[in-house]
């Protein structure tokens, strides 16, 4: 487990001070095999569970938004009372299991290229995201 040093550097390179709290959040978010989807509350609980240390809710919000701004996290647009984030910041699409309130990644090849045949003067495309809602 040598990730701690990497996270410290990553934070420094982002002009974010490597605090104990931020390093713990990095461990929970980025020290894992697969990317994952979470809400602030999910993360808040995971930190306690996985690191044994409590980080205040305000800090979780602050840090998630800092990481989001730096491009280390992505926000997923779905209708939910809570905001969903994704550690997979590449362009990709999602299933959303409405009943379980769970996001599942779709690879780009599972969807195929999407060509938008319309443009709005003065505006350019920032992202194209497909959301596939699932029911039983």
Partner DNA sequence: AATCTTCTTTAGAATAATTATAAACAACGA
Partner DNA sequence: TCGTTGTTTATAATTATTCTAAAGAAGATT
Nearest residue to Mn ion, scored by beta-carbon proximity: 86
CB 85 within 8 A of CB 37: yes
Bridge partners, residue 94, by sequence: 105, 131
Q: Which of 128, 22, 104, 20 is nearest to 70 (CA)?
A: 22
Which member of 9, 31, 32, 41 binds DNA (CB under 7 A)? Answer: 41
Contact between 34 and its own copies per CB under 8 A: no
Min separation Cβ 103 and Mn ion, Å:
6
* 27 binds, options its own copies, Mn ion, Zn ion, none, Cβ within 5 to 8 A by partner type: none
Nearer to its own copies, 25 or 103 (CB): 103
- 52 touching DNA, by CB under 7 A: no
Query: Residue for token digits 């319309």?
Result: 118
Determine whether 55 is exposed, middle or buried from the number of CB atoms within 10 Å of its CB (0-12, 13-18, 19+): buried
Among 68, 70, 92, 93, binds Zn ion (CB under 5 A): 68
107 forms part of the interface with its own copies (CB under 8 A): yes
């Amino acid at each position: 487990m040598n990730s701690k040093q990497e996270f410290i550097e990553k934070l420094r390179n982002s002009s974010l001070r490597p605090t104990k709290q931020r390093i713990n959040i990095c461990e929970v978010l980025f020290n894992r095999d697969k990317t994952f989807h979470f809400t602030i509350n999910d993360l808040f609980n995971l930190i306690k569970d996985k690191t044994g240390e409590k980080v205040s809710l305000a800090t979780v919000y602050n840090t998630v938004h800092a990481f989001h701004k730096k491009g280390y996290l992505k926000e997923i647009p779905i209708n939910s009372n809570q905001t969903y984030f994704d550690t997979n910041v590449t362009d990709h699409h999602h299933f959303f299991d409405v009943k379980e309130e769970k996001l599942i990644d779709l690879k780009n090849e599972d969807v195929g290229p999407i060509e938008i045949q319309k443009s709005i003067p003065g505006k350019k495309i920032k992202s194209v995201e497909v959301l596939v809602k699932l029911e039983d």
